A and B are shown apart, each in its own frame.
Chain A
Amino acid sequence: MSNSPAPSLVPAAELAGATVSTAAGTGASPMAPALLVDNLSKTFPGQRALDRISLAVKSGEIHGLVGHNGSGKSTLIKILSGFHLPDPGGSVAVAGKSLLFGNPGASRLVGLRFVHQELGLVDSLTVAENIAIDVGFVVKAGRILWREERERARRLLEVLDSTVDPSALVADLGPAERTEVAIARALASADRPTKVIVLDEPTANLAGSETTRLFAILRRLKANGVAVVFVSHIVEEVLNLCDRVTVLREGRVVGTFDRELLTHDVLVNLIVGAELTHVNRQRADLSQEDQGAGARLEVQDLRGGGVDGISFSARSGQVVGIAGITGSGREDVAGLLFGSQDRSGQVAVEGASMPGGDPRKAIAAGMALLPSERVRRAIIPTMNVRENVTLPRLRTVMKSGRIDGRLEREDASLWLRRLGVRPDDPEAQVAALSGGNQQRMILAKCMRLQPAVLVLDEPTQGVDVGAKEGIYAMVAEAARGGAAVVLCSSDSEELAATCDRVLVMQRGRVTHVLEGEDIIDKVIDTLELGGSVEGIGR
């Protein structure tokens, strides 16, 4: 179908249907597609993550799979890899063999393999061992034949034109070499030869030249007749590499498109789902903006991590959003501002320059941070709710050299009630709280410091829709109370719902600043992906 000369956008359902009929029917094309997904749905409680997905991937093609957060990409991959069970009715076939769902071993058995973003290699083992633990050891008389193992690893790496030593420890390899090992491992098989390799965001940890190298490897795989499914949200990479692209949006297939039919802007619009040629807007009043005086937070040339020099300021009562896809530097901004990550540049709170490297000083200067990844970075599970809430500032609940139990309980209780934490019992264990309430508790911990600057990093990560609204209301409340709020988020709807100004980041820099009525989720999505919206300058 893709050979069709007419530059029309073929809906994937039709395309897949056509392919099925061809394969099963006349025999005009005896080759079954390498991967055929037919009518696949997945419903989670209260939400349809995938809605009748169909797509076909041919042998020897590199097939892009793109979509925004929540488009269903990850759910689809998790069904293919046997982690999720789909709703009844759908089917998946790999080179004509149908896939048994809900069993990771079954995917491998039909020749469907995965290279996940984290790669899943064991650092303390050698390259050959990493391949062997996955596909099985070559054993003779109960003894592992190490020479054969190394030979097998060498052959697999040779297919990729890779120079990695099979005896090397994975811990000693760089990120690009690790990716090569993971791909080599995905090629190895004890049973059916690998037909399809799915790579999930493989370039996330790679530098530019390493990405070029990876692309060369993927083209070699393609030349060897393997079907490559390339999952990414970096539009340039997809356009560079892929032969065809399937776009997912809100759990549905928008369509499968030949590369030649796509331009950067067309692909971005397909992902975002709106033809944003022009935004009817009124200029926000810039006169009161960035005047320096009265700014509670001033940031000058902030650098560190993935951030390559950004400057902005925020006044009392203002909510400034930081937008950007993962890898844009957005995920490092909060830590850099707070000083928990090494930085250069100037950060001033209420006119006073704030040294980096010490969260204590940031707190003393009037800054509070709600970190991302609540469980890993914000919660102390061995302490109860009261102890968690009061930890950053204990001196206000002390009396004659000791923490006053009654004072502390009352203080914690007050803030738990203000932030609407349920239950509001300060003696409750943190584990007894739901995700949304844990997040409110951490917000209570921040607000108790009555910060001049409140920095929020993915504040609604892993909380349900209802709890999100509550958290937005509290952010607005904090701003009304006089704090300058910086909200870093990968969720553009969240930014649109809460922010007075949004800084869109790409490759470590701020590329666009949105204000007032320009702050629209689809505009943010478009700009994040490097698309352009007429009427919105840089």
Chain B
Amino acid sequence: MIKRARAMAELVARRYSALALLAFFFVVFTLLEPGIFLTDTTIRLVLTDRTVIGILAVGAVVPFAAGGFDVSIGATLGFGFAALTWLSINTSLPEPVMVLLMLALCALVGFINGAVVVKLGVDSFIATLAMSQILAAVSLYLSQNRQIVANLSSGFRNMTQIQILSITSDVWLLFVLAVIFWFVLEHTPTGRFVFAAGGNPTAARLSGVPVSRYVWGSMVVSALMAGIAAIVMASKVGVYANTYGTGQLFPALSALFFGATQVKGRLNVWGTLIALYVLAFGEEGLGLLGTNFTWWITPLFDGLALLGAVALAARQYRRMQAGKIAKRTSDPTPDEATGGGGPVDSPAPAGG
């Protein structure tokens, strides 16, 4: 019984530390802020507040899992918003066409990212960093560095306000996208190939995975998701400003990396969403404590939580490695004699 309880506690510590942290927040903030924190208004507010970042983060799981680095998602979001705003003011296209056109432009951004990485052999971090700046320039040009009220219909403006089961439609959209991404990544060959490409591209290629095609495609997917995030943002905010895009990058990546320490021990969709909302509820609780430090507490909290989660995961990983090494024979193999100097093969004694 005790053994099982300890195993459970260990599993929670290893795979669900974020949920434990969430429970802790709920208890502490409910006690500190009775009747304010734990209300359905607060919960709904927090849920809808993070949908744009959530869509970005879920989309980013794909290129990062494929071994790439995509830091252009924030700028792509901003660019998508700017493009949609520009189209709404300067053209008389029907709204669905404008939206599709904007999504196509975002997909093109991802396609170019992929081409630069795969065909020109540029490191994906550098390629997407450069793309961020180029997109920032395009967005500035389109907006002429002004805040612009998009000329969008009230239907478009209200579509994220629709409530289903008293939860707004943007939250449902995030949920549906997460289910799709989870299914593809965890239950189809496509997802398996993405993880293989990221885990060891050489081995993946020798196993028949077309690695470059998956790396390329993954960048299109994340850019397209940034476009979808732009639709949600345009609907919710309605006014374009230059600061919107890049501001979403860090919170999205925080959720992504924090999430990688959760549930599966590698990048995954549900871990990402759990991490996203743990951070959100933590910030909300802190914010409700007092109004005079809310504006700087958010990034500080984000940064500390990310560091804490990743450091914890790294410690567990080292422990696992240390445990494994202890089970092995201690001396190095004479490399010549075994023709390679690999690890010594020995049966692991029970209880090591």
Contacts and interface: CB of A to CB of B under 8 A. Distances in A.
Interface of A: 42, 44-45, 47, 49, 69-75, 338, 340, 359-360, 362-363, 369, 371, 373-383, 387, 391-392, 394-395, 398, 401-403, 422, 431-432, 434-437, 445, 458, 460-464, 466-467, 490-491
B206 interface: yes
B336 A461 contact: no
A371 B205 CA distance: 12
Q: Which 7 A-B pairs have the closest CB atoms?
A: A462-B342, A436-B345, A382-B199, A462-B340, A380-B199, A461-B340, A360-B208
B336 A70 contact: yes
Interface in B177-220: 183, 187-189, 192, 195-196, 198-200, 202-210
Interface in B133-188: 183, 187-188
A359 B206 contact: yes
17 contacts: A44-B331, A74-B335, A359-B208, A360-B208, A374-B342, A376-B203, A377-B202, A377-B206, A380-B196, A380-B200, A392-B208, A402-B183, A403-B192, A434-B347, A445-B207, A463-B345, A491-B339
B333 interface: yes
Contacts of A340: 205-206
B343 A434 contact: yes
B340 A338 contact: no
Given A47-B337, A69-B336, A363-B208, A401 B321 contact: no
A434 B346 contact: yes
Given A382-B266, A467-B345, A360 B210 contact: yes
Given A338-B206, A435-B344, A463-B338, A403 B188 contact: yes
A156 to B, nearest CB: 31
Interface residues of B, number: 44
B343 A391 contact: no
A378 B206 CA distance: 8
B192 A391 contact: yes
Contact of B346 (A69, A377, A464): A464
A293 to B, nearest CB: 29
A359 B205 contact: yes
Given A369-B206, A403-B189, A72 B336 contact: yes
A431 B321 contact: yes
A401 B336 contact: no
A435 B343 contact: yes
Contacts of B192: 383, 387, 391, 394, 403
Nearest to B321: A431
Interface string B304-330: 000000000000000011001000111
B329 A382 contact: no
B71 to A, nearest CB: 21
A398 B189 CA distance: 9
Contacts of A377: 200, 202-203, 206
Contacts of B320: 431
Contact of A383 (B195, B344, B347): B195
**Most A-side CB within 10 Å, residue of B196, B321, B337, B348:** B337
B345 A464 contact: yes
Nearest to A491: B339
A363 B205 CA distance: 11
A332 B82 CA distance: 53
Contacts, number: 144
Contacts of A490: 339
Contacts of A74: 335-336
B196 A383 contact: yes
B32 to A, nearest CB: 40
Given A376-B202, A382-B198, A491-B339, 11 more contacts: A44-B332, A49-B336, A360-B208, A371-B206, A378-B203, A379-B200, A380-B196, A380-B199, A382-B195, A382-B200, A461-B339
B339 A49 contact: no
A369 B203 CA distance: 11
A81 B210 CA distance: 43
B334 interface: yes
Nearest to A398: B189
A70 B207 contact: no
A60 B299 CA distance: 67
B341 interface: yes
A116 B320 CA distance: 34
Contacts of B266: 382
A498 to B, nearest CB: 15
A434 B203 CA distance: 19
A359 B201 CA distance: 13
Contacts of B202: 376-377
B196 A434 contact: no
Nearest to A338: B206
Nearest to B329: A45
Contacts of B330: 45
Given A374-B342, A381-B200, A403 B208 contact: no
B342 A435 contact: yes
Contacts of A394: 189, 192
A463 B342 contact: yes
A422 to B, nearest CB: 8
A380 B321 CA distance: 17
B334 to A, nearest CB: 4
Nearest to A434: B345
A126 to B, nearest CB: 23
Contacts of A434: 328, 343-348
Nearest to B184: A402
Contacts of B198: 382
A382 B208 CA distance: 17
A258 to B, nearest CB: 26
Interface in B88-146: none
A64 to B, nearest CB: 17
A296 to B, nearest CB: 20
Contacts of A373: 340
Contacts of B200: 376-377, 379-382
A436 B341 CA distance: 12
Given A44-B332, A382-B195, A403-B187, A70 B206 contact: no
A380 B206 contact: no
Nearest to B317: A431
Nearest to A68: B336
B259 to A, nearest CB: 15
A434 B333 CA distance: 13
B142 to A, nearest CB: 40
Contacts of A73: 336
A340 B206 CA distance: 7
B334 A47 contact: yes
A342 B64 CA distance: 29
Contact of B344 (A387, A402, A464): A464
